[in-house]
Amino acid sequence: MAQMTMIEAIQSAHDVAMDRDERVVVFGEDVGYFGGVFRCTAGLQEKYGSHRCFDAPINESGIVGAAIGMAAYGLKPVVEIQFADYMYPAYDQIVSEAARIRHRSNGDFTCPLVIRMPTGGGIFGGQTHSQSPEALLTHVSGLKVVIPSNPRDAKGLLMAAIDDPDPVIVLEPKRLYNGPFDGHHDRPVVPWKKHALGDVDDGHFSIPLGEAAIYRPGSDLTVLTYGTMVYVAEAAANETGLDVEIMDLRTLLPLDMDAIETSVAKTGRCVIIHEATRTSGFGAELSAVVQETCFYALEAPVTRVCGWDTPYPHAQEWAYFPGPDRVAAAFRAVMEA
């Protein structure tokens, strides 16, 4: 057991996987010699050689396309898209090739591919370094999609993704790389190494895909969220004094419906929170499934707190970012409904 940042936990997952299985190869823009723009692959090229950890041209379609071919051939590529905002040139490869190989080959081929992408805002990255495109990925049959919220989950989910025989998208909230962020941008951030969730097992372990976690138990209302918004929800719960149950979904596809139904049946109220834009965001899917499966348990309408339907702004980041004040207002409204 060691104390790690999320960056170190992700690097450790790569290291353990590459040591256990020589079929694991890691590549992307600047991930080799430089160790990645966020240093999530630091030291891997030096340890395993440039044939297993290497730099790729600035061509996301080429990175993912080459990785799909490697996966079909029998390798286990783990590739990095430098920011989730850059994944769009590779979207056709992800949707039409990676997600479809098992089906279109009648099971003759699989695609054991992991695509890592830093996601979300809160870093003054503006519209091209702050997007949250998870809904575009959860819409695609054949993919699995995960979003960790802490170092232990980051390593365990990445290990499970690498072990999976099908393509997995790992979205990493970059605002959480060095510590939890509760939305109060004017306050100091507690580093992971001073946080209980910074304790991470050194060796191999995995967290099963498709299992949510109760981050904070409660009885007044259920929060369904993931990534950075776990800590924003916690701050809002503390500031309102409500007994809020916060569910960290961890895996968006497949979704842990048993956990969702159990929690909403207990509390009778549900608030959904995510950074992405509201319209057609993943929260709409969550709202629909809660309404379909928990209708008779609900005491109030399902409520969403999301980013606005605009490009992610630079100058007005904290007006866009769903902070604790907006979340707290939603909590109060649901309790009064």
CATH of the domain at 330: 3.40.50.920
Q: What is the pLDDT of residues 227-251, one digit of tens each?
A: 999 999 999 999 999 999 999 999 9
Give the amino acid at 319: A
The tokens for 177 are 């790389």
Whole-angstrom distance, CA of residue 325 vs CA of residue 240: 10
Residues 193 and 227 placed together within one structural domain of the fold: no
pLDDT at 146 (0 to 100)? 98
Residues 274 and 142 placed together within one structural domain of the fold: no
Residues 252 and 301 placed together within one structural domain of the fold: yes
Q: Classify each residue of 118-130 as buried b or exposed e, where b means 16 or more C-beta atoms within 10 Å of its C-beta.
A: bbbbbeebbeebb
Tell me, yes or no, whether 89 lies in a domain.
Answer: yes
Tell me, yes or no, whether 205 lies in a domain.
Answer: no
Residues 181 and 325 placed together within one structural domain of the fold: no
CATH code, domain carrying 179: 3.40.50.970
Residues 14 and 117 placed together within one structural domain of the fold: yes
Instruction: Supply φ then ψ for residue 257, to 5 degrees.
Output: -70, -35
pLDDT at 337 (0 to 100)? 87
pLDDT at 260 (0 to 100)? 98
Whole-angstrom distance, CA of residue 23 vs CA of residue 254: 26
pLDDT at 189 (0 to 100)? 85
The distance from CA 74 to its chain's CA centroid, rounded to whole angstroms, is 26
Residues 192 and 259 placed together within one structural domain of the fold: no
Range of the domain at 263: 213-336
Find out whether 127 and 311 touch, Cβ atoms under 8 Å. yes
Residue-level pLDDT, tens digit, the chain, 337 residues: 899 999 999 999 999 999 999 999 999 999 999 999 999 999 999 999 999 999 999 999 999 999 999 999 999 999 999 999 999 999 999 999 999 999 999 999 999 999 999 999 998 898 899 999 999 999 999 999 999 999 999 999 999 999 999 999 999 999 999 999 999 999 988 899 899 899 999 999 999 999 999 999 999 999 999 999 999 999 999 999 999 999 999 999 999 999 999 999 999 999 999 999 999 999 999 999 999 999 999 999 999 999 999 999 988 999 999 999 999 999 999 999 8
Residues 184 and 247 placed together within one structural domain of the fold: no
Cα–Cα–Cα angle for 72, 73, 75, rounded to 5 degrees: 95
Whole-angstrom distance, CA of residue 44 vs CA of residue 7: 13
Give me the torsion for CA of 41, 46, 47, 49, rounded to 10°: 100
Residues 176 and 248 placed together within one structural domain of the fold: no
Give me the torsion for CA of 147, 150, 153, 154, rounded to 10°: 70
Which of 177, 200, 223 is where one domain is finished? 200
Overall pTM surpassing 0.95 (yes/no)? yes
Contacts of 139 (CB under 8 A, 6+ apart): none
Whole-angstrom distance, CA of residue 40 vs CA of residue 79: 11
pLDDT at 1 (0 to 100)? 86
Tell me, yes or no, whether 132 lies in a domain.
Answer: yes
Tell me, yes or no, whether 181 lies in a domain.
Answer: yes
pLDDT at 63 (0 to 100)? 98
Tell me, yes or no, whether 294 lies in a domain.
Answer: yes
- How many folded domains does the chain comprise? 2
Residues 10 and 125 placed together within one structural domain of the fold: yes
pLDDT at 25 (0 to 100)? 98
Residues 61 and 124 placed together within one structural domain of the fold: yes
Q: Classify each residue of 153-182 as buried b or exposed e, where b means 16 or more C-beta atoms within 10 Å of its C-beta.
A: bbbbbbbbbbbbebbbbbbbbbbbbbbbbb
The distance from CA 224 to its chain's CA centroid, rounded to whole angstroms, is 14
Tell me, yes or no, whether 207 lies in a domain.
Answer: no
Instruction: Supply φ then ψ for residue 126, to 5 degrees.
Output: 70, -170
Tell me, yes or no, whether 153 lies in a domain.
Answer: yes
The tokens for 250 are 């961890």
Tell me, yes or no, whether 206 lies in a domain.
Answer: no
Report, as residue numbers or ranges, the catalytic residues.
129
Q: Classify each residue of 44-83 as buried b or exposed e, where b means 16 or more C-beta atoms within 10 Å of its C-beta.
A: bbeebeeebbbbbeeebeebbbbbbebbbeebbbbbbbbb
Beta strand extents in the chain (DSSP E only): 2-3, 24-28, 53-55, 76-80, 114-119, 144-146, 168-173, 199-200, 213-216, 221-225, 244-248, 251-253, 270-277, 303-307
Nearest Cα to Cα of residue 232 among 175, 310, 300, 309: 175
